[in-house]
Structure formats: structure tokens, C-alpha cells
Amino acid sequence: MRASGDTLQGLDRASMFGAAPVVRVLALALIAYPAVVMAGQATLYRYPQFAIWAVGTFAISGVVLIWASSPLRLHYPRGAFVVTMTLGVAAHILESAAMVQGDPTAVKHASTVVLATLLLAQSGYCTPRQLLVATATVTAAVWVTFAAFGTLSATPPLVAPLMFSAPVLVFGTAAAAFATVAIAARREWESTAPQRAGVDSDELARGVARAVQQDHVTLLNREVTPLFQRALQLGEVNEQLRAAAAERSRLLRDVMVAESNRTWLQAAVGQCGAVSDPDRLAIGLEPEKRAAVRALIGQICRHPQLVDGSLRIALSSGANGDSDVVDCSIEFSLDQTVPLAASRLTPYYGMLRALFDRFDYGTDGPVRWLKFSYAR
């Protein structure tokens, strides 16, 4: 199993950054809940050591869940869903073995609630189909376990396994329903994005064009119009007029060259740092990737520990012999004398990892660096 465009993580990575701490809480509940329930009814178990192993198996499953749902991971790892559910079923078998030949209705089955929690915790990383298939498989496993331990026919027959598999059925189908609606909303948003962008851009373009024109008209009125009017009034050219025209020409050219050379990256960084992009490679980046880089730059520039002027961004191509690939490196320093704030940049790193190739990051003393690539 891998996170693809068919999962909530694949379609809306931003949603999953908030999910990671909640998944950790649920993973801890996977350990705490069965431990408390089983401890409370320890005397009812015929083989309590199996109950302890069941708690241990749930703990492993919780650790796998925490590991797999790290927000810095590119995809939910292949097989993590299968591993956690298999461990959950194994724990359920151990719990059933602990009470073998006992009265199944006399004790609480913590394992089925935990299995249901596992399904819910992974609803953002799986497709609705995977969740439904897992729900059906786990339910079947619960029934087979009841049959294997000879408790299927406990009075009244079939009712006990039905009741104990109820949490899995209820929360498994609810998890699939949740994923279905959440994914559908994202798909609809993506499908209508081009139309929205067109409308927004048209409206924006008019306002921005007016503002830019006004800037230029102001410049022309100040620097050029008086000169042209003087030339028209005089009706002839002289040395003074030639010199003034040459000077205004240089001034105007300098302004226009500066405007034409500026890229979105320089605009985004502003006074916060320095950009080295002699080939203007930044202009080839897609809008959504630009937005992610901009958002990160915004966070870096607002970071309370940022050392003034330490942000450096460099773009180059052809470093590995492939001129179609642009390599971007970002470097900045954080003041380590200030108490460390929570890692506010982590979600942005995760976003960039999902959007760019060869993403890497690290630290070197106070210096933080990250590198990534994209096709031109």
C-alpha cells in the first residue's frame, strides 16, 4: 500500500500534518486501552501470559503506526497498513487464547476496539476500498478466532462474535465513509481549479495592470513628459536637449531592466535574504510549487531565531550533467542562544518533500540547509 492520489494524504498533504500528532495519541491509546482493560479483568483469564503478549503486540503495532505516519515521510510506507492490521489480528488471537474455553461473554474483548481504532487512525492514508477490505477481513478473522477457540456456539449462538466484531464493523465502515467524502471534496476542488484561477486572474490582472501603469505614468510624467513637451515647444534639437534625452533614456532603461530581471523568488525574499539566480531559472517553476517555496520562505523570514541576512537561496542547472534539471539550495542560520521553538518549519519541509525531487535537508551547527530539484 502506498499513498497515492486516491488517498487523503495523496490529495491534500496539508491535512495530514495535523493528523500526525493525533495518530500518535491514538497509537498510545492502542497500548493503554487494552492494558487497562486486561489488567482490570486479569483474574478472568485462564492464560494471562497471552494477554500480556497481546498488549505487547498492540504496542508494536502502535510503534509501526507512529513511524509510518511521520509528516516528513514522502508516502505512507508500503505494507504499513497490512503490518499494523496483521499485528492487531495477532493480538486479538492472543487475547482470545488467554481466555480459551472461558465464557466469552463474561469478559471484555479490548482487541476488537483496538482493531477498530487502527482502521480509524489510518483512514487518511488508505483508500476507502482498502479500508472496507480490511474491515471485512478483520471481521472474518474475529469470527474465525471465535470458531477456532470453540466459543462460536456460546449461548446465544453467533451473537457473541457479532457483538465483539461490532466495533470493527461500525468504525471500519465509518472510516471508509469519512475517507470517501474527504477525497471526493478534494477531487472536486482540483477539477474546478483551472476555471477559478482563470476568473481570479482576469480580475486581478485588471487591477494590477492599472497599478503598474500608474507607476509608469508617474515616472513618465516626472522624467519624460516635460522633456518631450519642451522638445515639441522648441521644435528643434540642441545640445542641452540631446544630453537630457540621453540621461532620461539611461534612467528609464535602468528602471525597466531592473523590473524585467526581477523574478517571483526575488520578490518573495525581498529584504530578508539574497537570491542567486543568474539564469532566471525560478520563472520555470509551477505555481503550486512556487507557493510552497514562498510559504517556506515566509516562515523562515518570520522565524524568531533567524539570524538577520543569513538566508541564501541559489538556483543552478546542469550540475549533474542534466541541463533540464534545476537544483535549488536554501541556507539560513538560526540563533541558538534563543530557546528553541517547536519546529515550525517541519510541515513546510514535508510539503516540499512531496512536491520536489531529491529533497534533502540537514543542519550544520546554527546553519540549516535544504536542497531539492525540479524539471525545467
Partner 1 sequence: MSLGLPQHLAMRSLSEAIAFASHVAAAVSLTIAALAPMLMQLSSPDLIIWPAAAATVPAIALLGLLVRSRSTAATLLFLIVGGAASFWYAVTLSSQLPQLGGNAAIYVLFIAALTCNAGPAKTFGVGVMWSTAGFVIGVASVFLGTAFTGVDEGVHPVSVMLFLFLLPALARAAFGGGRAESLRRHLYGALKHDRVDSIRLEAEREAAALLHDTVLGHLAALARMPDGPLDARLRTAIERDLRRLVGGEWLLEATTAELSIAIDTPFQDAVTRSRLDGLDVALTGDVHAIARLDETRGSALARAVEQCLSNVRRHSGTNRAEVAVLEGEGELTVVIVDAGTGFDPDSIADDRLGVRESILGRMERAGGAARIWSTPGHGTSVLLSLPLDDEPFAASPSATARASANRSANASNRATVTATAATVCEDPA
Contact map string, positions 78 to 117, toward partner 1, x by CB under 8 A = -----------------------------------x----
Rg over alpha carbons for the chain, rounded to the nearest Å, is: 31
The residue among 49 and 153 lying less far from partner 1, judged by its C-beta, is 153
Asked if residue 315 lies in contact with residue 276, where contact means CB atoms within 8 angstroms, the answer is yes
Q: Which residue has the cell 468504525?
A: 171
- The total of other beta-carbon atoms located within 10 Å of residue 321's CB is 6
Within residues 119-138, the interface with partner 1 by CB under 8 A covers: 120, 124
Number of residues located near partner 1, criterion CB under 8 A = 117
The residue among 64 and 114 lying less far from partner 1, judged by its C-beta, is 114
The residue among 203 and 360 lying less far from partner 1, judged by its C-beta, is 203
Does 225 sit near partner 1 (CB under 8 A)? Answer: yes
- Judged by CB under 8 A, the residue of 100, 102, 186, 369 near partner 1 is 186
E strand or H helix that includes residue 22: helix 13-40
Does 319 sit near partner 1 (CB under 8 A)? Answer: no
The residue among 2 and 86 lying less far from partner 1, judged by its C-beta, is 2
Q: Cβ neighbours of residue 291 under 8 Å, at least 6 residues apart? A: none
Rounded Cα gap, residues 115 and 275, in angstroms: 51
Does 200 sit near partner 1 (CB under 8 A)? Answer: yes
| Binding region for partner 1 (CB under 8 A) out of 93-101, 240-248, 330-338, 364-372 | 240-248
Q: Residue type at 26?
A: L
| Binding region for partner 1 (CB under 8 A) out of 18-26, 86-94, 305-313, 363-371 | 18-26
Does 360 sit near partner 1 (CB under 8 A)? Answer: no
The residue among 288 and 335 lying less far from partner 1, judged by its C-beta, is 288
- The total of other beta-carbon atoms located within 10 Å of residue 247's CB is 12
Burial 122-137 (b: 16+ CB within 10 A, else e): bbbbbbbebbbebbeb
| Binding region for partner 1 (CB under 8 A) out of 60-68, 76-84, 92-100, 213-221 | 213-221
The residue among 64 and 282 lying less far from partner 1, judged by its C-beta, is 282
Does 229 sit near partner 1 (CB under 8 A)? Answer: yes
Rounded Cα gap, residues 4 and 209, in angstroms: 40
Q: Cβ neighbours of residue 150 under 8 Å, at least 6 residues apart? A: 100, 101
- Judged by CB under 8 A, the residue of 70, 173, 305, 316 near partner 1 is 173
The residue among 12 and 331 lying less far from partner 1, judged by its C-beta, is 12
- The total of other beta-carbon atoms located within 10 Å of residue 14's CB is 12
Does 376 sit near partner 1 (CB under 8 A)? Answer: yes
Does 144 sit near partner 1 (CB under 8 A)? Answer: no
The residue among 91 and 292 lying less far from partner 1, judged by its C-beta, is 292
Q: Phi/psi of residue 326, each to 5°?
A: -100, 130
270: left (phi over 0), alpha (psi -120 to 50) or beta: left
| 199: three-class secondary structure by DSSP | helix
Q: What is the largest CA-CA distance in the chain?
A: 115
Rounded Cα gap, residues 135 and 130, in angstroms: 8
- Judged by CB under 8 A, the residue of 101, 232, 362, 363 near partner 1 is 232
Does 263 sit near partner 1 (CB under 8 A)? Answer: yes
Torsion of CA 130, 135, 140, 146, to 10 degrees: 140
Does 290 sit near partner 1 (CB under 8 A)? Answer: yes
Does 170 sit near partner 1 (CB under 8 A)? Answer: yes
Distance, first Cα to last Cα, the chain: 31
Does 322 sit near partner 1 (CB under 8 A)? Answer: no
- Judged by CB under 8 A, the residue of 60, 301, 314, 355 near partner 1 is 355
Does 267 sit near partner 1 (CB under 8 A)? Answer: yes
Secondary structure letter of residue 334 according to DSSP: B
| Binding region for partner 1 (CB under 8 A) out of 4-12, 50-58, 82-90, 91-99 | 4-12
